[in-house]
Every structure is written in C-alpha cells, then in structure tokens.
Structure 1
C-alpha cells in the first residue's frame, strides 16, 4: 500500500510546485495588482513591477516565471536512473519553474518560425520597456478620471504599459498560433528527458528516506 501511495504523493507535490510557479508568474501578478483596485498604480509600483520583469529576463526566464533553480544547477550531473518512478516526479517538482520556461521558449521558437516579425516586435517592445533609460518615457500623457481630473500616465506608468503590452502579446501569440503545439511538445520532451537523466541531490534522497519530505 505504501509503495502505491509514495508515487502519488510525489506527483502531487510536483503538481503543487507547477501550480505555485504559474501562480507567481509576472503577468498574472501584475494583472492581479492592476485589477485589485481598478486604479492606475503608483510610479513606485510600476517601477518595481518592471524591475521584476527585468530580473526574470536576466536570470533566463522568458516566460516571466521565476526559475526554481539557477540554470547552472539545472545542467548538473546526468545519469540513467535506478528508480525512475522516484526521479521524474522529484525533478518535476525541483525544476518546475525551469521546465515551464523551457516549454515557453520552445513554443515561442516555433511561433517565431511562422510569425518572425510579430515575435520580434513584441520582444523588442519588452526590451525597450525594461532596458530603456527613464528619459525615453518622459512623455506627458493624461487620462481623464472622475470629474474634471486628469491622471498623468507617462513615465513609469508608460513603461509598465509597454511591458504589459509586449509580454502579454507574446503569450497571446502562443495561444493563437498553431505552431505552439509542436514547439511546446518539444519543450515537454526536453523537460522529460532532463527529469529522467538529472541525478537528484543526496539531500533530497536523504529526506525521503528519513520521511522528512512533506507532501503539499
């Protein structure tokens, strides 16, 4: 009975890790913060949000999903497993964020082969949003609000708007383009191969043997 429960718990933990990574994606987090009060965010909040997206890009997370572990740890020792049923769900949990970015990158590459100009346009827009100096966004746009008030939307708000438009545009392309299926499948296969071959840290195996690893 215990042998049948253990794989179930391992896959359950892996599923929880994947859900947690997706829930923490930059696009979802930014959308939630914008919809929470149905008001334009402050300049400080806009700056912080763009800084978070830049941090994701710099660490190699094009999907805006934080890496579970740095890529240098991801590309560690590869070896055929002795216990496949333990290694694959364990790695699926450990590298959930990495695998999601691999699947996203594979899908985006496939879409790029079919819609190169659109992908490049959104990527360039995203790069400008997170890398351009503040002076580029010193434009005085104003949006009417209740009464006779006008709210300025230049500066950091304009930067965040461009970041949202470009990053969400990439996600929309993935959902609309047929090539996404082939690209994402390549990403899934690459992730499964890695999960099959990547050796688990001895600390993880020790926790399992001692029963210290909690189920989510």
Structure 2
C-alpha cells in the first residue's frame, strides 16, 4: 500500500520543516509549498490524499487556495492551520468546503491524529457492493458520497456524508448536538458547533428536491432528519 500523500501549504519555513519531518517519520509522503500559488501547482500536477493549509500565506491565502481546490476536487479532505481564533474566519473556511481547523500553537501528535482520522474516513473499500439507501424520493450513495435526485446529483464532501449518514441512522429522531459533534468531529467544542450549523445548511440544499424531507432544528438541543413518508 502506497504512503498517503499530504499537501502541506505553510509559509513559515521552520514550522513547515517540523511538520514535514514528523509526518514523514509517521509514514506519510509530504509535498510542501511555501505559498498558495505553489501549493495549487502541486495540487494540479499530482494526486494528494489530504491538504493541510495555512490560512495566512503570501501570493494566495489559504481560503483562496481551498476554493480553487474545491473547484477541482470535492472529496479531498482540507484541514486549515491557523493562528486566528475569530469565529467568522472559521465559518468562512467551512463554507468554502474545509473539513476542520487546527489552531496554532498545536501538538504535532494531535495534528497527526486528526490527519489519520480524515484519511480513514476518505478511504472507500473496493470490491464491495454499492451502499445506496432510499432517502425519500432521493438516494444516498454512501460509498461515492452522492445524493441522487430526480433532477440533479449532489457531490458531498466526506464530512457532509458522515453527518447525513448519522442523521439517516436516526431518521425521524432527535440527535443531540453534543452527540453529533463527538461522532463527527471528535469533540464537543463551541467552534465545531458553529461549523455544524454550516454543514446542516449545506445538507438542506442537497435535500430540497424532496419537499417531504426536512432537517429540523430543535433549538439549543439538536437536529432531526424528518422523512414524512418513512414508516420504518
């Protein structure tokens, strides 16, 4: 099995060296770039399994880089590295299509663990039957991360698919916010909670072709995927 390839976009050469050296020791292949434009060239020229992107970079910032990556690939996990703690910046990253944030200063061990979690989620098993489930008038193709409707097909990110799968497993039942946060992000954190609202908003757009499907917000408590035609 080939080593997972990580695109590392970080303009601080000392931090970049430390991260790259550790990840290589842990069995990853690292493609390092010192600015957003260089990182985008690397991304376009070779396959990568995960993108680790600093928000503040010269020539092209991390948000712009992530936007360009998402135009090419909806599925590759994107983790932002940031010294910022502003909620608006975090939400912007999730709206662009980022999957998670690592706030500086951070533990290299924590970073490695986050990377491994996202790589495990993004791997699909070959040679097995496709896992498709009815979702009202739609279909949820779990393996290929698709919501298939009568008029259109939506490509989900891995995080969106994980969230939809969790809600679907508890269809017509309330799932508490803290349960969702721990299951999907691994921690019940305020900023992760705000990002959850962004992901819920995106899922609602994917389900809008079926008026009998609704993701209902139980204010301050959690969410439920309501399927008015489901009797299971």
Q: Under TM normalisation by the shorter chain, which class is it?
A: under 0.3
**Rg: which structure is higher?**
1
- Normalized per residue, the structure richer in helix is 1
Normalised by the length of structure 2, the TM-score is 0.20
- Normalized per residue, the structure richer in strand is 2
Normalised by the length of structure 1, the TM-score is 0.21
